[in-house]
Structure 1
């Protein structure tokens, strides 16, 4: 599971770097000098024991059944009944709860939300024990006479105030099947079959890539049960479900399309799902533009863009082969012309149907959900998807060229200001999902965090621009997309679902060379392995980064939606003082080596006064503006716990916000990249 791809973190640049940025490529080496470090080693060892592997059957004898009752909206408790045939009676059976989750790239399964587990065989209750070395594995000694086990347990979905993503509300719910399933150890997930059914509250509808026994879309019967056809465990976990009282489906293809794509909206209220014809046409254009990018190849039977619009249902963006889970605020269709409001999310997740699900890095294609994933090519899986997601957003009209330029200006400036680039190479950030819950909130610009999204998208912009320059604008990354991710569909699973076709870095380099001969391995490795060097992305683009004293309308509108505290707008002084602050004066972020950092500030403090007057956002802004070229530092009164103190910030460069401006004498290659096909 990933955070929303439109991360918008304010950043800061030194006054020397700012002068250079207006006239030359970004040079991170102009930041404060810091010693480089070697990359961390990557491990992909499997936790599966030798004995377990030796005794594991290749497939499982017959399908499991899975019954999930999701009608308890009061307590958010999902009830599970499961049966599974036994391969070898009289032996110990290992049952597993998914730990390594596809799309999350790390051990993000939460077995603590499984409760009430009872195992029976022919009415006899059996004891179970947890594997001491793997708490996600439950061991059951199966009697010699037992040929089937019956399991019951509950999934305790997060409730209000739990500080975890809500998946069940009064109006809608999301079922990720790995949270309500135990599966036998041994066979690969695609070799274990299961027949699922789900009970929904009265009058609710559902959407999922799952179909009925005859391949048709199914909806709840009078008793609320939805009966799906038999699929593999792999297909089940790759086919989450959204359901709700208010659900609207919008076909994005003409009638009769062979592999149709549908936009399904679920909302807190019916009015949330209302959209203008022009807004829906932009989503249809997304599908059409993706067809053009990938040469018309659709490696799925059908595809559901599932979009929840809610203040209570948790935000999400998670890819699957034949659907995607997307959760945004209910104002998605509101003020369409003023802000993007998350409209780059659907393109990103849709691109994953090709990049990540159909073509997958070889070390990410694991047989089950206990084997650790190898993330060495996340900069392709996520970074290239981020790049194409934003390209398709502007080509389809989900965003405008002006908005996309402002977004790119923020990304370039943001990456340049991440001081952690002076010690930690981009390649090492692919280890973040395996390392743990992420960096400390206080200093993420120093530690880096999932930069295989934003910085890697700039690497791929560099690749696209280089392809265009080397070929004299005859070839581009679009040609690579058609060759590498298009073509005939392969990789079908036994249950008929699509499976992945894997690749390595060697395959990637060979495909780029087939488009345009060049030393692509060196090109990519220079950008992935070096530290403290120039930021990729704008060379040969026809644009350069510059600075303005006023926010762009894009930045103001977007920050109103993506503030750190709910919908609260954060005051962004990242490129001047080096901090962000919300309305009550709370410092939400201080940037490493920035003027605020040098003054001893950190996030968690509260700003009380500016130059001896009570803090207000407009007062702080006015003080920074008035001190441009001034003679005295700013004085800030801050509260740190029960300690009050006055600090001075020696910044006299005024307010600074990033912009892109045309570079004289160069072709506008960004405009060509973003032009609809």
Structure 2
């Protein structure tokens, strides 16, 4: 049957064979569509968002949905790509009205799945009108602020309701947004027209729409990170609370350009039509780091450029999210891929998806000059120390931590090192350093994990659609780079309950974890634990500057003394708490002559705790192993030509 509407014809042609074909894992294994139809949804979902209510920070959504008479199930997205779990904010969706031919239709929420709504479409009705609001956070106390007086972050996945029974890539959408007067906007979506402050975007699939958020604001700067005329351009979009915060030096911009070049040399191809870094420099809009195929959402503090020396930790954000365009969005775990946003995810391979991205983000930050090799070593030292003292490994292996997203676990666990969290990020980065140095060692320097990146992520250079993979595909690719028992290598590290951290990679590179009595320059500049007073590796204690206990390490001296985050330290050795006083007291008791006397407060009760700790202050460092070749600065972290 021919297309009667030009827009619909464009959409159907664009969705084309990608919708009709099942997703294949490498090797040809069909990934189940999970009962969602592989056919296209018959018609175009029209979506408009009014994002002008800066007073109340309310997004107002209107949709038009082609339908047929009969029972219809509608979904509000529940499982969000990039968050790896059920983080859809249904509690912020309100005011749902469904209308047809001027009449309001009754709807009923599913009693098992509260993200689903059932409605009966009357005879003779071929289109529904939907209205609702997204009530965004106004104070930052119960969620992330996404709208301020000067900027906003519109995430389509919280602004849409879609029909059930179809794959997201098979639902065509025509979207538009009205922004505050005079604001600039950036998104991976291409703009097809503007009427005043209403922006109209290219027709696309629901899958691509939710993967293409918007940053908008009063103060904006756009910087091309590619040579002019690049076929697949990469652009940095800056938004700030104030215009002066957009000012960056030539050297700072050049480091971001080098990030793009170094990633090209690592991956060997680009699997996007264009790429847009969306970067907010703000203390008012909530921070974020979230990957998308052709863009990323990034939020840092407003002094990102101004106080460059103190933003080292933030400068690994863009490399991490950029790598995700290859690792996670293009190459995607087969058990993580789902046909739509209300199908549960499975995260068994996040140690590659996130763990190797964490590794490459760190490496590329150094190779591009966003951070120095010394700063990278300081960060590696902290990671090595963290997993040397991760007590929870005794009961919970690394593989099990990949379930954090689907468990929707809190990120600020009371006993973090015992409970564990999303350790598949940093602990896995040590495993990939281990693999990298092992390949270099076995191949006598002829090959490295760079070769795996080109082989695994650089395949099919003209393909944009996701290419899924399994555990066996990872092992096979590693064996093509360097023959080894990679299955055993990975499973031993993922399934182990040993307390020892995976530090073989550091040792092969000629470095070992050691301890100093003063924090590194990287930690002193605020890139360690922010403004907290960090005694993690001595007393096992992290405190806020006012003495409030933030963390207590499991089985540490502080833990054995009965301390917990319920306490505040009021005084040290009889004097009001200050970090330097606690440091001095720890040092003074190295001989055992002056045990620590800590006056602590819990509610209205005070008590004194005695800690006879004698090992002094301990801060992690990497030091060279005498007689071994250096393999970090001169190998792993060295820029590629």
State the TM-score, normalizing by the size of structure 1. 0.88
Q: Distance in 2 between matches of 1:46 and 1:400?
A: 45
Matched residue, 1:236: 209
Matched residue, 1:676: 639
Matched residue, 1:666: 628
Matched residue, 2:379: 407
Q: Pick from 316, 334, 343 the counterpart of residue 344 of structure 1.
A: 316
Matched residue, 1:189: 168
User: Bigger CA drift: 437-446 or 187-196?
Assistant: 437-446
Q: Distance in 1 between matches of 2:139 and 2:32?
A: 36
Q: Distance in 2 between matches of 1:334 and 1:193?
A: 43
Q: Pick from 329, 343, 347 the counterpart of residue 357 of structure 1.
A: 329
Q: Secondary structure at the match of 1:539?
A: helix
Q: Are the aligned partners of 1:210 and 1:228 in contact in 2 as well (CA < 8 Å)?
A: yes
Deviations 1:243-263 (A, max 9, x none): 000011000001100000001
Change in Cα spacing, 1:113 to 1:47, as seen in structure 2 (3 Å) is farther
Q: Secondary structure at the match of 1:282?
A: helix
What stretches of structure 1 of length at least 5 have no aligned partner? 1-44, 492-497, 564-568
Shift of 1:632: 4.2
Deviations 1:288-307 (A, max 9, x none): 00000011x00000000110
Q: Secondary structure at the match of 2:239?
A: strand
Q: Distance in 1 between matches of 2:211 and 2:311?
A: 32
Matched ranges for 1:249-264 at <5 A: 249-264=222-237
Q: Distance in 2 between matches of 1:227 and 1:408?
A: 45
Deviations 1:306-347 (A, max 9, x none): 100000000100000000000010011123245514000000
Q: Distance in 2 between matches of 1:595 and 1:669?
A: 36
Q: Distance in 1 between matches of 2:397 and 2:142?
A: 32
Q: Pick from 512, 517, 538 the counterpart of residue 544 of structure 1.
A: 512
Q: Distance in 2 between matches of 1:501 and 1:465?
A: 27
Q: Which runs of 4+ in 1 moved over 4 A?
A: 45-48
Q: Pick from 448, 470, 483 the counterpart of residue 517 of structure 1.
A: 483
Q: Distance in 2 between matches of 1:335 and 1:78?
A: 34
Matched residue, 2:445: 473
Matched residue, 2:58: 77
Q: Are the aligned partners of 2:304 and 2:311 in contact in 1 as well (CA < 8 Å)?
A: no
Q: Secondary structure at the match of 2:315?
A: coil
Matched ranges for 1:203-214 at <5 A: 203-213=182-192
Deviations 1:207-240 (A, max 9, x none): 0000134xxxx6x532x10011110000000000
Deviations 1:175-230 (A, max 9, x none): 100111000001100000010000000010100000134xxxx6x532x1001111
Q: Are the aligned partners of 1:308 and 1:328 in contact in 2 as well (CA < 8 Å)?
A: yes
Deviations 1:596-630 (A, max 9, x none): 00000001311011112221111111111111122
May I ask how many residue pairs the two structures share in their alignment? 607
Matched residue, 1:21: none
Q: Distance in 2 between matches of 1:452 and 1:472?
A: 29
Q: Pick from 468, 473, 477 the counterpart of residue 502 of structure 1.
A: 468
Change in Cα spacing, 1:536 to 1:161, as seen in structure 2 (3 Å) is closer
User: Bigger CA drift: 625-634 or 460-469?
Assistant: 625-634
Q: Distance in 2 between matches of 1:430 and 1:161?
A: 27
What stretches of structure 2 of length at least 5 have no aligned partner? 1-30
Shift of 1:640: 1.1
Shift of 1:47: 13
Q: Distance in 2 between matches of 1:58 and 1:351?
A: 32
Q: Distance in 1 between matches of 2:518 and 2:179?
A: 50
Matched ranges for 1:52-131 at <5 A: 53=35, 58-86=39-67, 88-89=68-69, 91-131=70-110
Q: Distance in 2 between matches of 1:338 and 1:572?
A: 17
Q: Does 2:249 align with 1:287?
A: no
Matched residue, 1:6: none
Q: Are the aligned partners of 2:140 and 2:286 in contact in 1 as well (CA < 8 Å)?
A: no
Q: Distance in 2 between matches of 1:434 and 1:127?
A: 32
Q: Secondary structure at the match of 2:523?
A: helix
Matched residue, 1:276: 249
Q: Distance in 2 between matches of 1:315 and 1:401?
A: 26
Q: Are the aligned partners of 2:272 and 2:294 in contact in 1 as well (CA < 8 Å)?
A: yes
Q: Distance in 1 between matches of 2:522 and 2:176?
A: 45
Q: Distance in 2 between matches of 1:586 and 1:266?
A: 34
Shift of 1:58: 2.4
Deviations 1:532-589 (A, max 9, x none): 24211323120011111111111111348x53xxxxx111011101101122110111
Matched residue, 2:26: none
Matched ranges for 1:117-516 at <5 A: 117-213=96-192, 220-222=194-196, 224-295=197-268, 297-438=269-410, 441-489=413-461, 491=463, 498-516=464-482
Q: Distance in 1 between matches of 2:408 and 2:156?
A: 23
Q: Secondary structure at the match of 1:84?
A: strand
Q: Secondary structure at the match of 2:96?
A: strand
Q: Secondary structure at the match of 2:72?
A: strand
User: Bigger CA drift: 392-401 or 59-68?
Assistant: 59-68
Deviations 1:391-436 (A, max 9, x none): 0000000000110011100110011111101221100000011112
Q: Secondary structure at the match of 1:509?
A: helix
Q: Are the aligned partners of 2:86 and 2:406 in contact in 1 as well (CA < 8 Å)?
A: yes
Change in Cα spacing, 1:126 to 1:257, as seen in structure 2 (3 Å) is same
Q: Are the aligned partners of 1:348 and 1:390 in contact in 2 as well (CA < 8 Å)?
A: yes
User: Bigger CA drift: 204-213 or 386-395?
Assistant: 204-213
Q: Secondary structure at the match of 2:83?
A: coil
Deviations 1:500-541 (A, max 9, x none): 000001000000000000000000111000112421132312
Deviations 1:436-458 (A, max 9, x none): 23366320110100000010000
Higher relative contact order (CA 8 A, sep 6+): 1
User: Bigger CA drift: 667-676 or 376-385?
Assistant: 667-676
Q: Are the aligned partners of 1:317 and 1:349 in contact in 2 as well (CA < 8 Å)?
A: yes
Q: Does 2:498 align with 1:532?
A: yes
User: Bigger CA drift: 593-602 or 119-128?
Assistant: 119-128
Q: Are the aligned partners of 2:173 and 2:203 in contact in 1 as well (CA < 8 Å)?
A: yes
Change in Cα spacing, 1:559 to 1:343, as seen in structure 2 (3 Å) is closer
Matched residue, 1:18: none
Deviations 1:73-99 (A, max 9, x none): 00001111100101x31x111010000
